[in-house]
Every structure is written in structure tokens, then in C-alpha cells.
Structure 1
């Protein structure tokens, strides 16, 4: 049973060279605030498995793409599940935590997702366009992403990658949730400058769209980010459901917004530790 001041192992790669954002700054900010309620230590993802036994829970935050340390992550995950270690977000996520297969599954179930296939025999299901996106199923942070023409697709669509049309979208927008509670939304008005974010005021229809994916994922606890694009027809289409270590862009929020997010995360962690 956790002590009055639970001990958290906070997993982050402070030096990860993310394009357009600073992982380290965000985690220094968030941990400085969480220390008001928790005894907390930071560690690199490669050290998490060796250190986690001494803590009440492991909080996985800006730990970088798992593809860069897949064997170590697999070992951490296997040991945590075997030993009953509390990991936040819980390791039962069905979205990016488990790879990109969910985009195919959601599309097959009729969810509003960017058209996605993974095999050459299914390429006919994609709308015709001049350019296509090809990315690894286990990729993240644009690692391995390629822009190709239709002629190149048959040789690339081998089941290990996802193929999507390059959608001429108006903008990208992200919805941030703690547990199943909406916190804030941010968007990039200029598609060419996707990390120059601004606050976004979602409509009820926008929130209904985002909540469909949060509900689908069935995580009782944790921080999730629903990434979408505004398609030419005006509808939103899912780009990604990040349920492992979503970057939060807390620097874009005002003081009140950051305070509210920290408070929601603190409440969630306390529920998680006692649930």
C-alpha cells in the first residue's frame, strides 16, 4: 500500500533531441510541480527496469520513441507486467503503446480515421492523390516516415508499414485528456509549421470526436493525446492516438491552464495509486 507520500519513478529522456520542442524543459516543469504531493526521482528509460522496484509507481513521460531502445522497453514491460508494478500510463493501452495497427482496426470499424492500408492488395482502397505517406507500424516522432508517389507503393506496402494519402488538411489539432477528462486543445494554424501551436477552442462536435477514441482505448487512468486533422470536407480525421508518452506542449498554456493540468494529473495519480 502506498505511503502517505507515494514514491514515483518518473521516466524521461531529458536530452532527447526532439524537433520543435524541448522534452527536458517540460519534464523539469511538471516534476517540479508534482513534488508538492509525491516523493519523486527521474531516470532515463534505459534505467527504469533496474530501478522501479523501489517505488510505488513508474510514470512514463517524455521517454522518446521506443524504437530507439526496443529491447530495453520490451524487457521493462515484461518485468512490470510479471511483477505487478504500477505503470502510468497502464500498459494495457490499445493505441500507439501497441504500435500503429489500431489505425487499420479503427478504419475497418468505421471510425473517422485517415484512410490507411498496409498491404499492396489493399492500395485500391486509398483515394488517388499525387503523394502518399509511408511509415513504420512501430515508428514514432516521424522516424522512418517517407513521402512517395503511387508508383513506389506496391514495393513498399509489405505489411510492416502503413500507407496513407497525403491529406490536404486545413490544420492539425490535438486534444489532451487526463483519465477520461478533457483538459485543453491546441492547434497548428499553419500545416507547414506543425509545432507552432496555439490554444484551440473546441466545439461540442470536436470533443465528441475526440472522446470516441478515448472511450475506445478503455484506459481508466493516464494522459492521452488525440491528434487529428481538419480534412478538406470540414470533418476531423484521426491522425494518432498517443497513449504511451505524449508530449504535452505545456509551454503553450497560460499559468491557469498549467495549474489545472497539474491538479488533474495529481488527482489521477492518487486515484491510480489507491485504485
Structure 2
């Protein structure tokens, strides 16, 4: 029988609420699936036929090690989403790629480690008149090392930015869009290339003098029916990623996180293709959709052809 790993991390044990319903859905679909941590040295990954990334959430602090694991695993198992997607999507510089293709993204300035932090921050503030802004690393998951600041907190924000750059981490500066406080984010989940469901995520970030949020916290999550312009933007972002990465088959899963800008139009905040929460609690049938999509991929002979290696 084909062996499927739903890939998590030792540090994420007990935090992935999607795993129990997905394991149950795989069983209903006749699939042999187990939750396995990518960093568990006791796992023999050469005995796994398919590895579906679900919650390897500590990769942001161990990216070279994690990518080396992905490279090895992709040579012996069907890695989903595929390796080229993971390479691209684990660093939020992908937002610049999508913006270059015409996708409306939240305005983002990237700051590289060799940059003087205060000069970069002051240039950003001169270009954007937002009352608040966000500093975060370009490689991040959840709200880890991410903070919201008022313009009057320039010194604190500059220190935050300097800490990231001194650790040889690229950083991002973005205006804080006030719509999130009133309306939250809209996250649209797609399975096997088709829209499945959407949720509303309440605001997590407090101002810079507040403690940072728990990186595992999901916040206030509720089901939401997305507006038509949000569905159109999600489709546009996924189509652009498909063209950019030259994908020949739909992504097994994707989550498109949107916020509304000052003009009321939706903007892409993140395109989550590596390890997103899929919020099966708000749409229980979606776990079965994912299991059925996985079963179809395993049945079409791709397990041993390894077409995901790139």
C-alpha cells in the first residue's frame, strides 16, 4: 500500500488543528497516511511514497536544513506541493515577482542585510503616509518576528529592522492597512486548483509596545463568503504563480490571504503554497476534497515518476 506522510515538525506537535480531520479523511479515502515530523531523525523517508507538507512551521528558523530535506525527499517521494513551488514560496520576495506580473499586492519594500536600517526605514516612511507600518522578516511563518509600529516609534522599528539585518535576514516594510482591524483578512482556500472555502482572520498584530503574538496563534477565525473581487484576485494570483513557475498541473492546495487597501480594493497579503493552515474546522468537507485529490494524484502514476523535481 502507498505510504503517505502528512509532514509536520517536532516543534509543531499539538498545534496543527488540520491534522486530525485530514488523517480521518485519508482513512475514508482508503489512503494509508501518518503524521510525521520532517526533523524526526527516526523516520526513514525513503520508505515514504508521498510527502504532503502540512505544518513544518519551524522551517523559517532552519531554512537551509529544511530545503536540504525537501531536496532529498523529492528524489524518493512525491513531494506536494512540488519542490519548485517550495523553493519560491518560502521567501516572501515572491510578492515582488507577482507584483511585476500585475497582481495588486500590499505595498512592500524589501530591505537586504547589507543595507543601513535607519536609512531604509526613513526612505520607506517618506514614500508612504500610512499612520502605522509593519516590520517582518522575508522568511517567516505566522507572526513570528513580526511587529506593528506607529510612525512615532521609528527608533523601536529601526532597532527591530537592525536585528533582522544583523542576523543576515532580509526584511520587509509594509504599510499597516487599517481595514484589518475592522474587517480582518480574507483567506481563500483552493484545493486541486478549485476554490473550496474562505475564512475571516481577525487582526493579530498590536502596536510596537505590545508583546509579539504567539507564532502558533490563529486568532479569531470565522467562516466567510468572499466578495467577487476577492475571488477574482485570488484566481489572478494563482494564475500568475502557475505561469511564473511553469506548473503543468494544479497545486494540491493553496491559500490566498487578502486585505482591503485604503481605496477599498483587495490586495494580496500572502500567497501560501507551502504549509498553510486550511481551516478544516470551518469547512469539514474540505478535508475529504483534499484526500480525494491526493488519491487521484497517486492513482495516475505520478508517485514513481517524480515529476515534482525541478
After TM superposition, the score normalised by the length of structure 1 is: 0.82
Partner SS for 2:296: helix
* 1:11 counterpart residue number: 7
Report the secondary structure of 2:44's partner residue.
Answer: helix
The alpha-carbon deviation at position 98 of structure 1 amounts to 3.0
| 1:199 matches 2:223 | yes
**Residues 1:161 and 2:171 are matched in the alignment:** yes
Who is 1:264 aligned against?
289
Q: Is the 8 A contact 1:45 1:63 kept in 2?
A: yes
Distance in 2 of aligned mates of 1:262 and 1:48: 28
Could you say what secondary structure the match of 1:47 adopts? Answer: coil
Say if 2:232 is the partner of 1:236: no
Structure 1, residues 110-150: CA drift from partner, whole Å, max 9, x if none?
32111000142962684212322111111111111123355
Name the SS of the counterpart of 2:105 in structure 1. coil
Higher relative contact order (CA 8 A, sep 6+): 2
The whole-number CA distance in structure 1 between the counterparts of 2:291 and 2:194 is 13
Deviation, 1:84, is: 4.9
| Aligned partner of 1:174 among 187, 190, 194 | 187
Number of paired residues? 260
Query: Does residue 127 of structure 1 match 2:151?
Result: no
Q: Does the Cα contact within 8 Å between 1:134 and 1:145 map onto a contact in 2?
A: yes
Q: Counterpart of 1:62?
A: 55
CA RMSD of aligned residues (A): 2.8
Residue 95 of structure 1, CA deviation? 8.3
1:38 maps to 2:31: yes
Partner residue, 2:214: none
Q: Secondary structure at the match of 1:42?
A: strand
TM-superposed CA distance for 1:74, in Å, is: 2.1
Q: Closer, same or farther in 2 for the Cα pair 1:234/1:130, shift >3 Å?
A: closer
Shift of 1:68: 3.6
* Higher mean displacement: 197-206 or 172-181: 197-206
Residue pair 1:221, 1:268 contacting (<8 A) in 2 also: no
Shift of 1:15: 5.9
| Shift in Å, 1:213 | 1.2
Cα distance in 1 for partners of 2:170, 2:62 equals 19
Helix, strand or coil for the counterpart of 1:212?
A: helix
Distance (Å, rounded) in 2 between the aligned partners of 1:118 and 1:244: 21
Distance 1:100 1:126 in 2: 21
TM-score by length of 2: 0.74
C-alpha distance in 2 between matches for 1:128 and 1:80: 46
Aligned partner of 1:23 in structure 2 is: 15
Q: CA, structure 1 residues 96+250, in 2 after alignment: closer, same or farther (shift >3 Å)? A: farther
> Contact (CA 8 Å) 2:50, 2:79: kept in 1 or not?
yes
Which structure 1 residue ranges, 5 or more long, are not aligned? none
